[in-house]
Amino acid sequence: MKKPANTQHPIHDSLTHRWSPRAFSERMVEEEKILSILEAARWAPSSFNEQPWSFILSTKYNQTEHESLLNCLMEGNRHWAKYVPVLMISVAKMIFDRNNRPNRHAFHDVGLAVGNLVIQASHLGLHVHQMAGIHADKARETYKIPDTHEPVAVIAIGYYGEIDRLPEELRERELAERVRKSLKEFVFSGSWNKPFSLITEVSDYEK
């Protein structure tokens, strides 16, 4: 199923067609595609080039490992994520290597790395769904994540699958129209909540 974004301005096709389904196929993701999306994450920018991201990855090639990671998810996500062939946990290193001080940009930089991964996955015909519903303490215990690091999210990667596997509530969300805030609601200039003038001018012109 395709749900292209209804954009107000032109963007790249990989962005237009990116969305986060819950209906995944059990078809395995090719190894070269897994490596490709990880390579995309590798080349993300970061503060002082610290690259504070790590990923704990499991595939259905190893069912035991897959179950271990699945058990770090909250129950509502496990219902559909059990079919996903590739699951991974993103982890942020919260201190700088360079001076051992707190890195307040770590989550931002992990997000940039995952953003690269998501767009590369879209380019390769894959879908990605990121989940905040993670038992962080369970993940820390299962994978012996050090105290200097924080589990961020679980990321599901695969091909689109059968929507009929989803419960009714999730099927409705799967079929719902994709919506976003307008640019003028979050791009400001001069002072808080004052829309950037170019956006205001374009909006007035469109009227």
Residue the block writes with tokens 């303490």: 137
What is the overall mean pLDDT for the chain?
A: 94
Of 11, 18, 12, 10, nearest in space to 178 by CA: 18
Q: How confident is the model at residue 204, as a pLDDT?
A: 57
pLDDT digits (tens, 9 = 90+) for 126-167: 999 999 999 999 999 999 999 999 999 999 999 999 899 898
Q: What are phi and psi of 73, to 5 degrees?
A: -90, 150
- Dump strand ranges (E) for the chain: 53-59, 86-93, 127-131, 149-158
Q: How confident is the model at residue 200, as a pLDDT?
A: 80
pLDDT higher than 90, residue 202: no
Confidence of residue 117 (pLDDT cuts 50, 70, 90): very high
Largest Cα separation within the chain, whole Å, is 58
Task: With H, G, I as helix, E, B as strand and everything else as coil, classify residue 199.
Answer: helix
CB atoms within 10 A of CB 146: 9
Q: How confident is the model at residue 1, as a pLDDT?
A: 81
**Cα Rg for the chain, rounded, in angstroms?**
19
Beta strand 53-59 with 86-93 is antiparallel
Helices 106-123 and 31-42 meet at what angle, rounded to 10? 140
Q: How confident is the model at residue 203, as a pLDDT?
A: 61
pLDDT digits (tens, 9 = 90+) for 38-66: 999 999 999 999 999 999 999 999 999 99
Domains of the chain by start residue, with CATH:
21-166 (3.40.109.10), 181-207 (no CATH)
Confidence of residue 201 (pLDDT cuts 50, 70, 90): confident
